[in-house]
Every structure is written in structure tokens, then in C-alpha cells.
Amino acid sequence: MTNAPLTTPTSPTLHHEDTGGDGRPVVLIHGWPLSGASWKDTIPALTDAGLRVITYDRRGFGHSAPAADGRYDYDALTADLAGLIEQLDLRDVSLVGFSMGGGEVARYVGTHGEERLHSIAFASAIPPWLLKSDDNPDGGLPRAEAEKMQAGLSADREGFLDEFTRNFFSAGGELKVTEAQRAEAVAIAAQADLDAAVTCIGSWLEDFTGDLAKVTVPTLVIHGDSDAIVPIQASGQRTHAQVAGSELVTIKDGPHGINASHAEAFNAALVRFLTA
């Protein structure tokens, strides 16, 4: 396995890990405010299925340096993903975006096309358009609430992350992972650059409707039915409706962090889709 910074035109210190091998490549794109380390429960299942797995830390998160240009919008974030794909010369690749990572998947298709792609997957992901507004009444997050989150994180990082991770892994008021797993997520989140973490909250509100309209490759949408962070009604179900021929897998009693809380069901659905 390689474990090193990757030089790309947009982000010269993008940390990535690559299991290597001759299997078809899969790029796993993490959620906020975590890093590629958050995929540890998924990677073994994919490698056991014969796939080559690549993870990376978004700019300003995990072991990747903050953005030199100060940008954390999705055009900039997706340019990093495109740079990784090109530097590693990945072809026939599947992209799996969790939560915020679903935005990079959608924008990659919208901006860079599908020439290098085999398939894509949206897991607890924010597309098609999370912003709740008069123009998008079915969205899940009003701008005022996003701004409140930014202020809360800026004022009390430790307290904010403690509450956020409880919601992240809870369904119906019940924590669906162990306290040790939650503490591990808090520790990963604490690695993020504060400015990157705060600014990215605003990026969640970008509109991916036009990007999804360009999707023609096989698409999986997997979402917990009790997601308190990105409600399935606002995101997963709408993405499924907008991407013709997509498959929707709903995880019963699943919180936002289904790749940890319901790892067996999540991995089984992902492996089946990626190896079909």
C-alpha cells in the first residue's frame, strides 16, 4: 500500500492511500469533517472483492494541507479529485462519495465527464441540492442553519464536534456505534484545519442538479432512513429520482454514518454494486 502526499496541479500536498494491485480502481471520498481514515471499515471488504482502493484526504482535512488559494468550493475540490485521477491514470474507475463527498462525485461528472468512469455511488450524500429555500423547498438545510453551524464550530470546536458526532451516528435518539467509534471520529475531525471545516459548511449548499443531469453510468444511492444530518427525503430519494436507472438502497434505522454503524449491510450493498 502506498501512503504519501500526491502532487497535483491544484493541491500539491494531497494525502492519499492506495492499496494497489490489478483490480479495478475505486476512489472513496470521505465526508465532513473526517478524512480518508473514516473508510477503514469498508476498505477490507472491497479489497477482499478484488478491487483496488484509493482514499484521499480533502484539502484542509486529515493529512492534506489547507488550500493555498483559500478555496473550498466544489469546483476547487473537484479539481483536486480530477488531479488525483489523472496523476494515478485511473481508468474504468468507480467513485464513491460519502456525505459531502457526494458533491465531488456529482461535480466531477458535470465538469470532467464520464470518460474515465465505470460507475458512481452516493452514500448519505448531499446532492442534489441541500439548501432549503423558496427555490428549493425540498432541501434539508436552510442557509441560516448552516451559518449557525459555522458560528458554533468557530466558537467552540470541541463542543460542536461532540454534539455533531452524536447526531452523525444516532438514529431515533440512539447512538448506533460504540463510544470508542464516536471518539475515533472526533479525533479524526480534530485534525481538520478550522478554516477549511468552517468554509466547507457553506459549500454544502451548492446546487448539483445540473451535474446529476449528466450522469449516464451505473449509479448506486445508499442512505439511512433515519439520517439526522442529511435526511434521505431531501437527498437520497431525490438523487435516485433524478438519475435515471439508479439503484436506491435504504438502510433501516440507519443514521448518517451508515458505513460505520451498519458496516455489514453497507459493505454488502457496495461490493455487490461495484463488482456487478
Q: What string of DSSP letters covers 209-230?
A: HHHHTT--S-EEEEEETT-SSS
Among 218, 245, 203, residue whose Cα is nearest residue 121: 218
Which residues make Cβ contacts (< 8 Å) with residue 176, sequence separation at least 6?
169, 170, 253, 254, 255, 257, 261, 262
Active site residue 99: yes
Q: In the structure grid, which three cell numbers stand for residue 113, read together?
A: 465527464
Catalytic pick among 30, 63, 256, 262: 256
Through-space distance between the first and last CA atoms of the chain, rounded to whole angstroms:
25
Catalytic pick among 227, 240, 246, 261: 227
Active site residue 135: no
Catalytic pick among 11, 38, 94, 99: 99
Active site residue 38: no
Q: What string of DSSP letters covers 6-49?
A: E--SS-TTEEEEE--SSSPEEEEE--TT--GGGGTTTHHHHHHT
Q: Would you please indicate which residues are annotated as catalytic (active-site) residues? A: 99, 227, 256
